[in-house]
Amino acid sequence: MELPFSEPYKIKMVEAIYRSTREERERWIRDASFNLFNLRSEQVYIDLLTDSGTGAMSDRQWSAIMTGDESYAGASSFYNLKDAIWDITGFQYFLPTHQGRAAENVLFSVLVKEGDIVPGNSHFDTTKGHIEFRKAKAVDCTIEASKSPSVWHPFKGNVDTEKLEDVLKTTPAGKVPFIIVTVTNNTAGGQPVSMENIREVSALAKKYGVKLIIDGARFAENAYFIKTREKGYAGMEITEISREMFSYADGMTMSSKKDAIVNMGGFIALRDEKLYRQASTYNIIYEGFITYGGMSGRDMNALAQGLYEGTEFRYLESRIKQVEYLGTMLKSAGIPLIEPFGGHAIFIDAKNFLTSIPREEFPAQTLAVELYLEGGIRTVEIGTLLADRDPLTRENRFPELEMVRLAIPRRVYTYRHIEYIAAVASNVFDRRHSIKSGLKIKREAQIMRHFTVELERL
Ligand SMILES: *Cc1c(COP(=O)(O)O)cnc(C)c1O
């Protein structure tokens, strides 16, 4: 028989998690005003809130921490990281930052001016925030297929090159500082972008004389999808594919809390020395000297090691197949999902799960609360609460999709945990018709309300 794949690591250290009772959870979620961000982590049995900074570091990463060099300037840890970034991305220049959004802040301080247009594929919310904060505009050019929950497309995160060329053609010269391609496309559900698409976008960037920047938070997962889905890449190493992806770009921003498997960190990597020098000034103002930029030496060491581990095929295979395993089990229970499954998370289509709850009563948040009550699982709403109110009319905005995201931390949970999650979700699905009403807002902030909102049951 064909041997199943299994995790390419074993466990050396464990952390206890508490399996609470339903009565405890009823009390805790009421005290948290039905907002899962308000729960203490001890009140959560399996935490699927995010895959960002929640991964488990390896013994090699922990030992790299012990040899971190904490010198202010020119630390060996900085050079270890520089070497790793060169090996994996082919970018010669790099600046450390404390996390991904800090990399955006530094690089965009050089590149983005008031009135600019920055096209891309579903900009991540902090990316969009850093563009809009500078009174520039982010224009989403993701392919139409990304908007339909069940349309199967191998690279559903792709840029629509016609939409992109339209933007480039109609925007006055000098008003597009760069195109940003996010791999994988997080906002569209962890969907990959093909090499062919990156190549086409790069050709358009050259044709119109604009830069191409890659938001590389999940570049290794993207490379895995290219290897397994795109013609011509099956025989290539993940690092070779990564280098090719980055070879089409002028630079990248990175949230190392994702594919570099560290708990905190980020960087900017660039090809052009002049741009690097300009960004260095902002790095010094906002983050720290150019050889540490908000990171301690030990953390840069762990990050360098994490970049190598995060681009190992066996590791990526076990991660992405674990996510897929969860999706397959939920699907066979009849639960409506967004397909194909993304790299880092499974998204439940809450509108089609809780069909009798109107959108004014937040079906996705109601479902997230039910998953918590059923089995102590913390997920996150990506729907009407997250979409906020229209800034002018103050009416609720109802996005196309009402989703609950189950993000899987890296190397943290076992297959048995995944089966537990699936059982919890199918129990809720089996009793979905008994969930007859949703939630109502008691108090909310002016913007970004989902973090602090207080809700009550109807
Ligand atoms: C997480 C993330 C960021 C921001 O990074 P932080 O480390 O959270 O500041 C930017 N882009 C993408 C695609 C991300 O997933």
Would you state the pLDDT for residue 172? 93
For 81, the token pair is 């990281």
**pLDDT value at 150 more than 90:** no
Q: Confirm if 180 and 211 have CB atoms less than 8 A apart.
A: no
Model confidence pLDDT, tens digit, residues 37-87:
999 999 999 999 999 999 999 999 999 999 999 999 999 999 999 999 999
Would you state the pLDDT for residue 416? 96
Q: E-assigned strands of 222-314?
A: 251-255, 266-270
pTM to 2 decimals? 0.96
Q: Confirm if 364 and 382 have CB atoms less than 8 A apart.
A: yes
Structural domains of the chain sorted by starting position, each given as residue range(s) with its CATH number in brackets: 22-51+313-457 (3.90.1150.10), 59-309 (3.40.640.10)
Q: Confirm if 453 and 32 have CB atoms less than 8 A apart.
A: no
Would you state the pLDDT for residue 423? 98
Active site includes 398? no
Residue 221: CB within 6 Å of ligand 1? no
Distance 24 CA to ligand 1 centre (A): 33
Given the residues 31, 59, 83, 125, the one annotated as active site: 125
Active site includes 217? yes
Active site includes 72? yes
Residue located nearest, by CA, to atom 1 of ligand 1: 255
Model confidence pLDDT, tens digit, residues 347-388:
999 999 999 999 999 999 999 999 999 999 999 999 999 988
Among 5-14, 78-87, 97-106, 289-298, whose mean pLDDT is lowest? 5-14
| DSSP 8-class letter at 122 | S
Question: Distance (Å, rounded) from C-alpha 369 to C-alpha 455?
Answer: 11
Residue 190: CB within 6 Å of ligand 1? no
Model confidence pLDDT, tens digit, residues 248-291:
999 999 999 999 999 999 999 999 999 999 999 999 999 999 99
Residue 124: CB within 6 Å of ligand 1? yes
Q: Given pLDDT bands bounded at 50, 70 and 90, which one contains residue 21?
A: very high
Distance 440 CA to ligand 1 centre (A): 30
For 111, the token pair is 């590149």
Would you state the pLDDT for residue 302? 98
Active site includes 125? yes
Q: Which residues pair with 117 in a beta bridge?
A: 137
Would you state the pLDDT for residue 138? 95
One-character DSSP codes across 395-445 = PBP--S--EEEEE--TT-S-HHHHHHHHHHHHHHHHTGGG----EEEEE--
What average pLDDT does the structure give for the chain?
Answer: 96
Tell me the percentage of the chain whose pLDDT exceeds 70.
Answer: 100
Residue 296: CB within 6 Å of ligand 1? no
Residue 260: CB within 6 Å of ligand 1? no
Residue located nearest, by CA, to atom 8 of ligand 1: 100
Distance 77 CA to ligand 1 centre (A): 23
Residue 257: CB within 6 Å of ligand 1? yes
Model confidence pLDDT, tens digit, residues 399-453:
888 999 999 999 999 999 999 999 999 999 999 999 999 999 999 998 889 999 9
Distance 97 CA to ligand 1 centre (A): 12
Residue 256: CB within 6 Å of ligand 1? no
How long, in residues, is the chain?
458
Question: Distance (Å, rounded) from C-alpha 335 to C-alpha 370?
Answer: 14
Would you state the pLDDT for residue 148? 86
Sheet holding 178-182, edge to edge: 93-97, 266-270, 251-255, 211-215, 178-182, 117-120, 137-140
Tell me the percentage of the chain whose pLDDT exceeds 90.
Answer: 93
**pLDDT value at 243 more than 90:** yes
Q: Given pLDDT bands bounded at 50, 70 and 90, which one contains residue 189?
A: confident
Taking phi first (over 0 means left), then psi (-120 to 50 degrees means alpha), and beta for anything else, what does residue 233 get? alpha
**pLDDT value at 4 more than 90:** no
Q: Once rounded to an integer, what is the mean pLDDT over residues 309-322? A: 97
Closest CA relative to residue 141, chosen from 125, 159, 167: 159
Active site includes 124? yes
Q: Once rounded to an integer, what is the mean pLDDT over residues 116-139? A: 94
Question: Distance (Å, rounded) from C-alpha 210 to C-alpha 220?
Answer: 25
Would you state the pLDDT for residue 6? 87
Would you state the pLDDT for residue 351? 94
